[in-house]
């Protein structure tokens, strides 16, 4: 699941993020990259099983490219 949030404002050490549906989320400012108000952040949320499966697929693809070069 991908969620886009816009940085609405900063309040001290907290960033207030707004979802596309207008919901607000408070997020620690020190856990964000260097950004300004109005920046759009993309959150890719997945459970650990899905993440592990995707990482294994990436590793297999890389190994196949190394072991079976097309040149």
What is this structure's pTM? Answer: 0.68
List the chain pLDDT tens, one digit each, 71 residues: 899 999 999 999 999 999 999 999 999 999 999 999 999 999 999 999 988 999 999 999 999 999 988 86
User: Domain extents for the chain?
Assistant: 2-67
Q: State how far the alpha carbon of 71 is from the alpha carbons of 4, 24, 48, 59, 62, in Å.
A: 40, 51, 36, 20, 15
Q: How many CB atoms lie within 10 A of CB 6?
A: 14
Fold of domain 2-67: SH3 type barrels. (2.30.30)
Give pLDDT, residue 71: 66
């Amino acid at each position: 699941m991908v969620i886009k949030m816009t940085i609405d404002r900063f309040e001290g050490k907290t960033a207030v993020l707004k979802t596309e549906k207008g919901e607000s989320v408070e997020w620690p400012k020190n856990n964000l990259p260097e950004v300004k108000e109005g920046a759009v952040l993309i959150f890719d949320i997945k459970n650990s099983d899905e993440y592990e499966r995707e990482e294994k697929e990436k590793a297999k693809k890389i190994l196949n490219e190394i072991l079976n070069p097309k040149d």
